[in-house]
Amino acid sequence: MSERPTAGRPAVPTMSDRAAIPAGLWQGDGVFETLRTYSGRPFLLDRHLDRLLRGARAIGLAPLPSLEEMRRACRAALARSTPGPRSVEQVLRPMIYAAREGAQFRVPVEPATPLGTSAGHRGIRVGLSAYRHPGPYLVPPGSREPVKWLARGPLSHALREARALGWEEALLEDATGRLIEGTRSNLLAVVEGDLISPGPESFALPGITRAVVLEEARRRGLRVRERRIGRRELGRASEVMLTSSLMGLASVARVDGLWPGKRPFRSPIAVELRDGYADRVRAKE
């Protein structure tokens, strides 16, 4: 029986209530994606759904929906949803999780915030989290890359702490003190003409937006190095950027205690990457 609510305090769920919640949700036994729309259309939908299926297979979920079934579900969810008053754009979070009757697919939809647009030009302030990067714990046995687990409690807490300090994101180090990624973003830095970005070989999530940005960098003849970034190396960077589906390609104004910051998107490489990513967004529209 659930506890009776008192004035000003919601009811506390009991074990009997938990039975109605699929095990995969309260145990974090599942994988998810986050993507947004541009001009009302989901950007890079198939890439996100493909990564979702790879992650679900890697953690042994079955039976799995087909790519076409998930496409239809995502479009139907968008059609049913109502954008917020300040934005016509929306965010989709497709997920596959364990349940008693087998793997379940769900697509929550919510209004998009303007963070990606504004942060891209003014630059965001970030800092270094006290949490260590989870590293190989994100990689299921037999998998060649990390998966985007539903169980993200430590990363969510790291982001809450970051925001309490006035940061918009927090970077995570591995046990050797090298930077890997943010709590919800991939890291890129321009150091002595090279574009450096930790990837799956460093246990960073294989970000979809990061992949698009690196594709653009290589297409334009830029030198790309996929590896971890040391603190001192970051201090020499002419530009620091973050990528995610919600932020797009965002410039970092400063990394508290590590990088004093420079005028956002001023290096030639950063300007090329910004323009290249904007071209990809327009092309997908």
DSSP string, 90-136: EEE--EEE--TTS-EEE--EEEPPSHHHHHHHH-EEEEEEEEEP-GG
**6 assigned to some structural domain:** no
Report whether 119 contacts 250 (CB < 8 A). Answer: yes
Give the closest residue to 225 by CA, choosing from 269, 260, 184, 266: 269
Element containing residue 248 per DSSP (H, E): strand 248-255
Contact, 240 vs 227, CB < 8 A?
no
pLDDT band at 56 (very low <50, low <70, confident <90, very high): very high
- pLDDT on residue 263: 82
221-264 pLDDT per residue, tens: 999 999 999 999 999 999 999 999 999 999 999 999 999 988 88
* Cα–Cα distance for residue pair 147/145, rounded to 1 Å: 7
Query: How many CB atoms lie under 10 A from the CB of residue 186?
Result: 25
- 128 and 108 together in one domain: no
245 in the same domain as 162: yes
Q: Who has greater pLDDT, 276 or 21?
A: 276
Which residue segment(s) compose the domain that 85 sits in?
Answer: 22-113
Domain harbouring 103, CATH code: 3.30.470.10
pLDDT of 1 > 70? The answer is no
- 277 assigned to some structural domain: yes
Rounded percentage of the chain residues whose pLDDT exceeds 70: 88
In a domain, 140, yes or no: yes
Rounded distance, CA 190 to CA 194, Å?
A: 6
Round to whole Å and give the CA distance between 234 and 197.
11
pLDDT class for 132, splitting at 50, 70, 90? Answer: very high
The span from the CA of 68 to the CA of 42, in Å, is 15
3-state secondary structure 148-176: CECCCHHHHHHHHHHHHCCCCEEEEECCC
116 pLDDT band, cuts 50/70/90, is very low
Rounded distance between C-alpha atoms, residue 76 and residue 236, angstroms: 47
The reply to whether 69 and 108 lie within a common domain is yes
Please answer whether residues 148 and 33 qualify as being in contact, where contact means their C-beta atoms are separated by less than 8 angstroms: yes
What lies within 8 Å, CB to CB, of 7 at 6+ separation is none
- Of 79, 113, 147, the domain-final residue: 113
Structural domain count, the chain: 2
Q: Are residues 67 and 166 in the same domain?
A: no
Tokens at 133, concatenated: 């990067």
pLDDT tier for residue 3 given thresholds of 50, 70 and 90: very low
**Amino acid of residue 128:** L
Cis, bond preceding 63 (omega within 30 deg of 0): yes
